Chains A and B, each alone.
Chain A
Amino acid sequence: MYPKDLRYSSEHEWAKVEGGRVRVGITKFAADKLSDIVFVELPQIGARVEFMQPCGVIESVKAVSDIYSPVAGKVVEVNTALADTPEVVNSDPYGRGWIVVVEPKDLKELDRLMTVEQYMQAIGEEH
């Protein structure tokens, strides 16, 4: 449910280092809480994002939530497939449900995020 090689934000985003870049999505916990995701508003490629500032919007049938960037930098890829199949954020939040890839200003910023153990504790789940 919560891969060990990811870092986690207090707003339920995950961050995965891929070479010098960071792939971002929302956690299974957040996807389950939102349930039935029907729309994802993505940033533009090239957009500047700040640490834990909104970079997109995710809508379920019932609710609207901001997506926060877990790292500062520049958006270099967005998951355009979500325009037609936003539900993959529910079914595959760490795979096909990724949201953006960011070229970070400083990779060390990820140290400010939680490890999987810390995150699971934060959401009250057993290891």
Chain B
Amino acid sequence: MAVEQLKRTSLYPRHVQSGARLVGFGGWEMPVQYAGIVQEHRAVRTAAGLFDVSHMGEVEVEGPGALASVQRLITNDAARLMLGGGLYSPMCLPTGGIVDDLTVFRLSEQRFFFVVNASTADKDFAWIREHTTNATARNRSAEFGLLALQGPKAAAILARVTRINLGELTYFHMRDGVEVAGIRSCFVSRTGYTGEDGFEVGCPWDAAPRIWDALMEAGGGHGLVPIGLGARDTLRLEAGYMLYGNDIDETTTALEAPLGWTVKLDKGDFIGRDVLVRQKQTGVARKLVGFEMLERAIPRHGYPLLSGAARIGHVTSGTFGPWVNKSLGMGYVTPEHTRQGDRIAVEIRGRPVQAAVVKLPFYKRSA
């Protein structure tokens, strides 16, 4: 029997030292929790948390055809990006199904930088390379470690270890070739997956532990704690973000998911556009909605969604939301059950448990 060899990030020894519980995720051995999911989740909402996301992939596209290639690959409009600007977008198959959801930054006129999901990084690179013309696509995933520093105290903590003017680094912007904690050739973006203010810091693979240590030291007085994948999932769910492989995949489109805002049909042709145009005209057969349980039982991935006795869809993600203090979930339902307040039910261990459709996100930080 073939045993899957799990890859480890350069921060693996730190996770072991801190007593993290480790699990396999997307081919990587990663910390699922340190002190506990609920405690970690609250730390990010009230102070700050540090995540090892080095398992995520990075792909660079550079050359005269870079912009045209990126435009063909994604549904969102990269032509409007200023230098240093970035955006979130699905990358589609010709069927409109989603290859991955990713962020892409324009680092110079002819150079774009994608940050992609860990479990799809190889597939993404192959797809990007195949559809890049008059430019070069390079898989740089093995070169970069990536840390996410998230929470209301993130800016104050990061300011202690870098001279970058963080006040000028606005949401969804990246600076590359900068120094963080004495390490050169880092990149810093004001992005995240938690619903809080925060940053993602990329660095040479082996330098990640030095940056981790410097941030932990700088953040000690601010309540900074390490965060595992468990709280990463509960934080993103409260914030209404999609998880690739759960909420979206190659069988779902951006218009079925609540990602219509990323689909720019008037920007010119892109892969998957024909199907999305048709879906826009005729409507979709199902839509992803958020819902809150009216009892405490917890919806889980795959549970059936019901209206009366009729099956109307299934749960794609669900949890108990530690900050909003409610059981909540997302799932695809037929279009007649997508209005706020619509009563649906989740079949939990054979029993229908009542839920109400709500507007996403479940949590929005106060400005």
Contact = CB atoms under 8 A, between A and B. Distances in A.
Interface of A: 35-36, 38-39, 41, 57, 59-62, 64, 83, 86
B322 A61 contact: yes
B319 A61 contact: yes
B297 A41 contact: yes
B320 A39 contact: yes
B300 A61 contact: no
Q: Give the 6 A-B residue pairs with the shortest CB-CB distance, closest first.
A: A38-B320, A36-B38, A61-B37, A36-B37, A59-B298, A39-B296
A72 B33 CA distance: 36
B33 A35 contact: yes
A62 B300 CA distance: 9
A62 B32 contact: yes
Contact of A61 (B38, B297, B349): B38
Interface size class of B (residues with CB under 8 A): 10 to 19
Contacts of B297: 39, 41, 59
B317 interface: no
Interface string B2-46: 000000000000000000000000000000110011100000000
A61 B296 contact: no
B327 interface: yes
A83 to B, nearest CB: 7
Given A35-B33, A61-B37, 18 more contacts: A35-B36, A35-B37, A36-B36, A36-B38, A36-B322, A38-B298, A39-B297, A41-B297, A41-B349, A57-B349, A59-B297, A59-B298, A61-B38, A61-B319, A61-B322, A64-B298, A64-B300, A83-B296
Contacts of B32: 62
Contacts of A38: 296, 298, 320, 327
24 contacts: A35-B33, A35-B37, A36-B36, A36-B37, A36-B322, A38-B296, A38-B298, A38-B320, A38-B327, A39-B298, A39-B320, A39-B327, A57-B349, A60-B37, A61-B37, A61-B38, A61-B230, A61-B234, A61-B320, A62-B37, A62-B230, A64-B298, A83-B296, A86-B296
A39 B318 CA distance: 13
Nearest to A40: B296
A113 B298 CA distance: 31
Q: Which interface residue of A35, A39, A59, A61 has the most chain B CB atoms within 10 A? A: A61
B54 to A, nearest CB: 22
A20 B98 CA distance: 61
B34 to A, nearest CB: 11
Nearest to B38: A36
Contacts of B322: 36, 61
A64 B230 CA distance: 14
Contacts of A86: 296
Contacts of A64: 298, 300
Nearest to A64: B300
Contacts of A41: 297, 349
Nearest to B349: A57
Contacts of A35: 33, 36-37
Contacts of B298: 38-39, 59, 64
A60 B37 CA distance: 10
Nearest to B297: A39
A38 B37 CA distance: 11
Contacts of A59: 297-298, 320
Nearest to B300: A64
Nearest to B32: A62
Contacts of A57: 349
Nearest to B231: A61
Interface string B245-257: 0000000000000
A62 B320 CA distance: 9
B220 to A, nearest CB: 24
Contacts of A83: 296
A38 B230 CA distance: 14
A117 B190 CA distance: 54
Contacts of A61: 37-38, 230, 234, 319-320, 322
Contacts of B319: 61
A86 B297 CA distance: 12
Contacts of A36: 36-38, 322
B253 to A, nearest CB: 29
A122 B62 CA distance: 58
B319 to A, nearest CB: 6
A36 B32 CA distance: 13
Contacts of B230: 61-62
